[in-house]
Amino acid sequence: MAYVRLLYVSKTAKQHHEIKHDLMEILTTAIRFNSINKIKGVLYYGNGYFVQCLEGEEKVIYDVFYNRIIKDSRHQNCEILSCKAVNELLFQKWSMKFAPLNKKLRDFFQQYHIDEFNPYLLTHQTTEPFIELLSQEPHQEVDPYPHSS
């Protein structure tokens, strides 16, 4: 069976303070859909960007990316950063793990002289270490009741 790991980035269509509801919907839908379709992965959100790494059967991963994600109005400017055949799944425990912006991830970008989290600036040399770092991040729950300011 051919497995692939696809990493893509997109920009949110909403303002940062409006995104929590979308994150809950995306995660809830992804967990259910991915469990049924044997897709594994992680969703990362920060500074108005989504980064998602999906793993699974090649046909299924391409179908979900091209027929669901790209057509989802919550995503703008979807761009594949990496897609490759793999023998081992890094996210095999998770139908969809969530990793929020945090110090380790900020430090990763600063190490590569990127001042602010912008996944569009990941390069061929930094994409694989970024995926590895995401695989090591603990799963975070998304608070469905954001605190009012």
Structure-token pair, residue 15: 């303002």
Give every CB contact of residue 113 below 8 A, 6+ residues apart in sequence.
none
pLDDT, tens digit, for every residue of 19-55? 777 788 888 888 889 999 999 999 888 888 889 999 9
Domain ranges of the chain: 1-134
pLDDT, tens digit, for every residue of 69-128? 999 888 889 999 999 999 988 888 888 888 777 788 888 888 887 777 888 988 888 999
C-alpha to C-alpha distance for 107 and 94, rounded to whole angstroms: 24
Architecture of domain 1-134: 2-Layer Sandwich (3.30)
